[in-house]
Amino acid sequence: DAGVIQSPRHEVTEMGQEVTLRCKPISGHDYLFWYRQTMMRGLELLIYFNNNVPIDDSGMPEDRFSAKMPNASFSTLKIQPSEPRDSAVYFCASRGSTDTQYFGPGTRLTVL
Amino acid sequence: GIQVEQSPPDLILQEGANSTLRCNFSDSVNNLQWFHQNPWGQLINLFYIPSGTKQNGRLSATTVATERYSLLYISSSQTTDSGVYFCAVGAGNNRKLIWGLGTSLAVNP
């Protein structure tokens, strides 16, 4: 299996622009998680899905952030408009029948 | 909510040394995982261990759920063990994990 796939790996954008991060979970996994990692706040769960349905989005920082999972093999995290304080590494993870979470390589976002 | 504390925050070892990392949590959990984040940022799951003891090569972990702590043992450390070790816990039916701040490990040759 290819593992969790994220794209792009790096993104540099200017303040005010829309940013879309993409994730393909491991085939057969029914849970998908979006995390953000910063030096100041560590790893934070933003949102997670079960069978493509958002279950807990309490970690989404504000209305500028939105996430979708249109099918079992694809999810997006969108930031519109982006701000410099959104700069972070964004991870996607998935899990299947066990509780073990498997992480993608992350997307390093820099907002100038 | 559940609080997760990891100790020590930083650790420097010489290659070949052994170490013990600790994770304390403030409430009952039914999910506990240890992760390693390597210097390139990749997060790798090491153990799923809500209770009991597991071993994988030079690494082993023990969780004493009744006393609300878990230990990660690294024996005969190698430079490739460097990175940050995270403990993450979950409780109830909610699948979200609560993360500690990690232990940053540097293994010197």
The contacts of residue A81 (CB under 8 Å, 6+ apart) are A15, A16, A17, A18, A64
| B36, B84 contact by CB (below 8 A) | yes
pLDDT, tens only, B28-77:
999 999 999 999 999 999 999 999 999 999 999 999 999 999 999 999 99
Phi, psi angle pair for B82, to nearest 5°: -60, 150
Single-letter amino acid code for the residue at A85: R
How much of chain B exceeds pLDDT 90, in percent?
90
**3-state secondary structure at position A7:** strand
Is the minimum CB–CB distance between B33 and chain A shorter than 8 Å?
yes
Residue A95 distance to chain B (closest CA, Å) = 10
Q: Is the dihedral of CA A67, B95, A100, B105 positive or negative?
A: positive
In which band, very low, low, confident or very high, does the pLDDT at A1 lie, cut at 50, 70 and 90?
A: low
pLDDT at residue A4, rounded to an integer? 97
- Average pLDDT of every residue of chain B: 95
Partners of A55 on chain B (C-beta within 8 Å) are 95
In which band, very low, low, confident or very high, does the pLDDT at A67 lie, cut at 50, 70 and 90?
A: very high
Inter-chain residue contact B96 with A102, CB threshold 8 Å? no
